[in-house]
Amino acid sequence: MRLALIMLAVVVSFLVGCASVGKKWDTTHANEIVKGEHDKAQMITWFGEPHSTVSPLKDHPAGCVERWQWTYAHSGGGSTISDALVVDFDKDGKVCDNAYAQTKQ
């Protein structure tokens, strides 16, 4: 019984210091996106449904009209990990701009 209480205390103290924002997503293909070649269907296949969308985009320098975003951040145990992907699409649903950032501290 005493061992169980000690284990419970360790688990609780570990969990108290943890926090997550967003939904975890597969980043495997984040650096493989090709402008003008890949489309919305490919992004959903690779990353799942976007966490947020913006449409219409106005005055985008590349003429993009819609933006999809995937984001996730987790902090705990003295480290922070974050992933953010932004993909912009043209009027035909093809990728016209994208950016990916990953941080590990």
Quick one: pLDDT at residue 18?
Answer: 76
Residue range 19-104, CATH number: 3.30.1450
Please, what is the Cα angle at 89 between 84 and 94, to 5 degrees?
115
Domain residue ranges of the chain, discontinuous segments joined by +:
19-104
What single string gives the DSSP state of each residue in the chain? -HHHHHHHHHHHHHHHT-EEEE-----TTTT---TTT-BHHHHHHHH-S-SEEE-S--S-TT---EEEEEEEEEEETTEEEEEEEEEEE-TTSBEEEEEEEEEE-
pLDDT at 17: 59
Determine the Cα–Cα distance for residues 92 and 28; give it in Å rounded to an integer.
Answer: 25
Task: Give the model confidence (pLDDT) of 46-98 as tens digits.
Answer: 999 999 999 999 999 999 999 999 999 988 888 888 999 999 999 999 999 99
Specify the pTM.
0.78
Among candidates 51, 48, 62, 54, which has minimal Cα distance to 98? Answer: 62
Residue 11 predicted with pLDDT over 80: no
